[in-house]
Structure 1
Amino acid sequence: MSTETETGVEDGNTLFSDIDLSWEHRKNELFRWLLIAASLFGVVMLALLLFDVVTDFYTGLTEFNISLYEFFTQDGSQEETRAGFKGAVIASIMLMIMTAVLAFFVGVGSAIYLEEYAPDSRITRLIEANLANLAGVPSIVYGLLALAAVVNGIGIGPILIAGAVALGLLVMPIIIVSTQEALRAVPDSVRNGSYATGATKWQTIRRVVLPAAIPGIMTGTILALARAIGETAPLIMVGALFVNRTPSGPTDRFSAMPTQIYNWAAQPSEHFIHLAAVGIVVLLSFLFVMNGVAIYIRHRYETEV
């Protein structure tokens, strides 16, 4: 018996030893290096872009005497020595507040209905598939929609509300999809345990499911707003290209940070190019802060839960 077993093992070893796997190993190694090269390419390109922006930023502060105090306290202007970023910063903050109000409650409410109440039917699956597709639609399409429906359709003109509608339409599918994923991550055993205590469906969602899903919901929302704050195409479509004053309300015309940077970068003067670099650094700072807030909120809620 043992002799037959040993003979079988020897035959198996002989069988596998006849297969040359060196080419397979080389292909695996080649594929691994291709992945590393692709990753490094993106990182290197990003590093070069950041280096170019930081260089122009430093040159603007040292050689062109751009004062950061005046940069943050002056409104936009066609005169390079008087051009500032105050109106654009305030307009972007107001835009993000209105966009969050328009998109968050509708997006989270839609996700709760689709995930917790809607039946698993063909229509529901079609809606979810369309929402996933809408999350990848180019941002200029939402700008064209806001231009046709709000700016020209209703006739309110290129004001802050129109920009908020365009950005709200842009981020709403992202918020819905991220909220659905956060709700799906909550185990069914948690829901069943709540039902076992006599809680209703809404009580279970409000007191059990949502607290457990809030880290994912908040992270997705803040990251969606971080994308919206850097979008230029929708705002250009609604007419927010250049305004030389600070908006005081949602019915005022405006220039947000991306459109102000775009306007400066299109100017022939080199001074405006360096003003655009300073504006890019400010916009990147906003993006880093918003991403940091998303990470902090997620970590805090996960720790509490």
Structure 2
Amino acid sequence: MRIGILYAILACAGWGFAFVGPLILSDWPGLAVAAGRYMAYGLGSIVTLWLLHRRGRVNLRDAALWREAAVLTLFGNLLYYALLSVSVQKAGYVMPTLIIGLLPVTVSLAARIRDQQPLTARYLWALLLILGGLWLAQAPTAGKGSTAFVDGPTRDELIGWACAAGSLLLWTVYGVMNAERLKLAVARPGGMTGLQWTSLQGAAALPFSLLLFAATQPATVPVAQGWWLFGGISLFLGLVTSWAANTLWNMSSHSLPSSLLGQMIVFETIAGIAYGAVWSGATPPLTVLIGTAILITGVIVAVSERSRAVTPSAA
């Protein structure tokens, strides 16, 4: 179990970099940052699929699988991260990180609604904790100066929060649909592993990311924020934050119970806040730290309640 916990923490550490990548490439459009990530991820996935195909472990001629992978990756990967990148560049790293940190809750909530499961009192208390944590965390970042609580958030912050909420919605739908499609893909003749399915989606994202990158007119980027930096960050986002982190998470899922695995996802939020603080060179205000702790507590309570409620019906 210890190795599974280590894999999960390392995966979350990789995912957390997704929130600071757009800050490092602040002079690049958020859409270009997303395109760069999935160009790198797509190229890495193509190499993986080619190696698997040579060993006879994956069928690359199934048109239906490619269509499903293309639709899922367009909305759940490329557009999701495009919105998130814009969000981070508009509103900073704190609120987007916390909003995306709600994914375990929104995915489980969507599953409850789909399966017509009631919301228990414990689950509702968890949602209240989450809302309270979000409110407390955003208070010092809304507006400027000592009048932050009076003036409210700026226009850019509102746009950033809206983009983060949009990316949360996209990945919530993607998370539910992807789990269902993966089960069907595994059940097909010959079967398919999580690595094969993830690589298929990564390869399918490549043409979309190329089109998105071309549409952002990257030639207008200042020389100071050069192509070498963009290439290096894109490779890290694509190969470490996407491919390696996803692989580590899949490995941890084989040795950890689902109840514990769901709670491990909070380390992504912690990593995102920590990386953002290091990059900005400033410790987050106390209200942000307290709000983050309250939100994480709410996520853990909600995920544990989901496990307690779902297990009996599954049995």
TM-score by length of 2: 0.31
- Give the structure-1-normalised TM-score: 0.32
Q: Which has the larger radius of gyration?
A: 1
Which one has the bigger helix percentage? Answer: 2
Relative contact order: is structure 1 or structure 2 higher (C-alpha 8 Å, sep ≥ 6)? Answer: 2
